[in-house]
Amino acid sequence: MGVLCGVMGLALGGIVSSAWRVQVEDAPEWRDMAEKQRQRRLHVEPKRGTLYDRNGASLAVSIEVPSVSADAVELLRGVEGDAAQETALRDASARIAKALSLDANDVYAKLATRRRFAWIKRRITGDEAEAVRDLADAKRQPHPVRGFSIEGEGHRYYPGRELAGPVLGFVAPDAQGKDGLELALDEDLRGKVEEVRGLRDRSGRLIFEGGEETQALQGNDVVLTIDEGIQHVAERELDAAMRTYETKGGSLAVVDPSTGEILALASVPGYNPNDYTESDVDGRRDRVVSDRFEPGSVMKPFLMAGALAAGTLKPTDSINCEHGIYQIGGITIHDTHLNDVLSPTQILAKSSNIGALKIGLQLGEPSLYATYRRFGFGEPTGITLPGEASGVLRPQGRAWYDAETASASFGQGISVTTLQLAMAMGAIANGGRLLEPILVKKVTDGRGAIVRESSVHVRREAIPPGVARTVAEMLTAVTEDGGTAVEAAIPGYRVAGKTSTAQKVDPATGKYSTDRFTAVFAGFVPAEHPRLVVTVVLDEPMIGRYGGDLAGPVFRRVSEASLRYLGVTPSSSPGSAGGAGKISSVKRDSDPADAMLAMMKPPQPVPLPAIPPTAQGPLPPGGARVPDATGMPAHDALVALSKAGFVPRIEGWGRAVRQSPAPGTAAPRGSAVRVVFEPAS
């Protein structure tokens, strides 16, 4: 009995020791194993937030589309033997491939891994989803297919198609934002991935049970400052200009100068984010913030502002422009128009490079550089978009030489972006304050609560308010008779702005090209109480070259439609010549759809100014008859007028509807013929 009790005691001690090891020492390991066997974790991807314009119109939304996945373990459950399982896999692959229009071998390759989860086909059609359900329906199929499930999967949809494509960006199949705001705001839009736990049955299906509450399964919604209506008209006119003038590309920015809010950012060529795989990198690039270019004469207003603020220039000064030819540092500077003595206002109106460089040299290199930096050139604007370029003011580590200071005075040897130019012009329009651009108005969570909201942020005071008002008044001369941008004038409004026709550097020679230009117009309207700043940049136009003739009409049409859309009416007071006079603003209380339709209407024809031709009759010495260009497309009209010895001035797009001088009129060779084009519709 003693021996038996001793043996039983040793056995009981061994059992207790083993139990201690299993239940206490190895408890965490066994607990994890048990949890893995009895519980299933489901990672729930939240619905991506929506992008809205400032008026609540959806620009990017997420919709649920069906996708088919397979559980190979469930498919083979109850099938015994390798041969039988192989046959079951082949049969299921063939039937599913037929329903989904796939290759049976590709489906088999996914099932042969025998994993619990594998995507078979993502984002299927409704008919395909119904076909898969029929295969699993035991009432319709004598041998239903098991293990396949249809799950809703988020898909990004852009209702406006190409509208603001480079600004919005796109979302890849892995739900990651790519390009544009989808990338910049990806963390906000995606939301927080939740992990839901629950018991699972013998087939591995999740059985939900009461547990901890999860957060709202939805990303944050984002309200932009973009106005869908203004964005549409900006893209329409910019695209028309690209096709009419056969440009390499173009960009346009519309900004509210009082707040810094971005109303429109347009780039051509663009792309449709719904079909981003069919686009190339060049079409997806947001040229407004990423493309740098030499601005040319459009920098002269900022030069004037710096000189007036520093006291080195007065509005009443007279500057000798050397009859259009001036040498400095072994370089000869030419003016397009031959002028002698001009005032600062006339230098802007006639865009004299020689007058500008003399003002720049008198201001001095340090002050000129500081002026450009105060207006935000040479540094990012801080907009909520990826890939923004900062531009280049001068080589790092050294100051400008005199010749470089002279060229920088009229915008050569430096580079800027379209958005930088718009924000700098906005500083002149709003009284001298350089604002930070606002593209995201507010961010709200899934319950509608505001997460964060943007407000006006003044980066710095670029110039004193008095100087800003003076320069704004000087810039109105650019769009009046005798200025370089009469095509940018809007009847009933006073327009302040500046043109530029900047030569591009030929990468092959490193010198300025004689046939590659950038046509630019930057301005604001109404001049007295600015509501809009619009900057237009046309890259390498093949038909025409001057910023006033090419970019000016785009500015006019975009501004006119936008002002009408915003309810800013022109002055109707008598005696307001050239659009001068008070501007009255009215609240836009009409239906948004009606406002949109009104904006979409083609702009009313602008009366052609009288161009004094020689009267009908005998030809003057060196004269010719003006050919009839009506009914022709832009290219044919350009060729016909050029062959006859005239300089065509093109306005609009489509086919020619009228011209001045009239066809058959006798006029001197080399004189301008203005041709107005309108769409066939």
Which residues are marked as active site?
Answer: 297
Strand-by-strand arrangement of the 262-268 sheet:
262-268, 249-255, 532-539, 512-525, 496-505
Q: Which of 494, 497, 473 is nearest to 485 (CA)?
A: 497
Nearest CA to 192 among 216, 221, 222?
A: 216
Burial 376-408 (b: 16+ CB within 10 A, else e): bbbeebbbbbbebebbebbeeeeebeebbbbbb
Contacting residues for 563 by C-beta, under 8 A, at least 6 apart? 490, 493, 525, 531, 532
Secondary structure letter of residue 218 according to DSSP: B
Query: What's the rounded Cα separation, in Å, for the pair 168 and 565?
Result: 23
Reported as half-sphere exposure (CB side, CA atoms, 13 A), residue 108 has a value of 14
Q: Which residues pair with 334 in a beta bridge?
A: 325
DSSP 23: I
Residue of 461, 377, 454 lying closest to 422 (CA atoms): 377
In sequence order, the 6+-apart residues with CB closer than 8 A to the CB of 20 are none
Query: Facing residues of 326 across strands?
Result: 333
CA atoms within 13 A on the CB side of 197: 8
Handedness of CA 542, 547, 553, 556 (dihedral sign): positive
Whether a cis peptide bond, with omega within 30° of 0, leads into 269 is yes
Distance CA 566, CA 26 (A): 73
| Rounded Cα gap, residues 492 and 273, in angstroms | 39
CA quadruple 456, 460, 462, 466: dihedral sign:
positive
SS3 assignment, position 614: strand
3-state secondary structure of 193: coil
Looking at 390-516, list the stretches that DSSP marks H as alpha helix, in order from N- to C-terminal side. Answer: 402-409, 418-429, 465-475
What angle (nearest 5°) sits at the alpha carbon of residue 340, between those of residues 339 and 343?
A: 90
Residues in the chain: 681
Q: How far apart are CA 443 and CA 95, in angstroms?
A: 47
User: Are 538 and 518 spatial neighbours (Cβ–Cβ below 8 Å)?
Assistant: yes
Contacts of 663 (CB under 8 A, 6+ apart): 626, 627, 628, 629, 630
Q: How far apart are CA 561 and CA 536, in angstroms?
A: 15
Buried b (16+ CB within 10 A) or exposed e, 277-288: eebeeebbbbbb
What backbone phi and psi angles, to 5 degrees, belong to 329?
60, 35
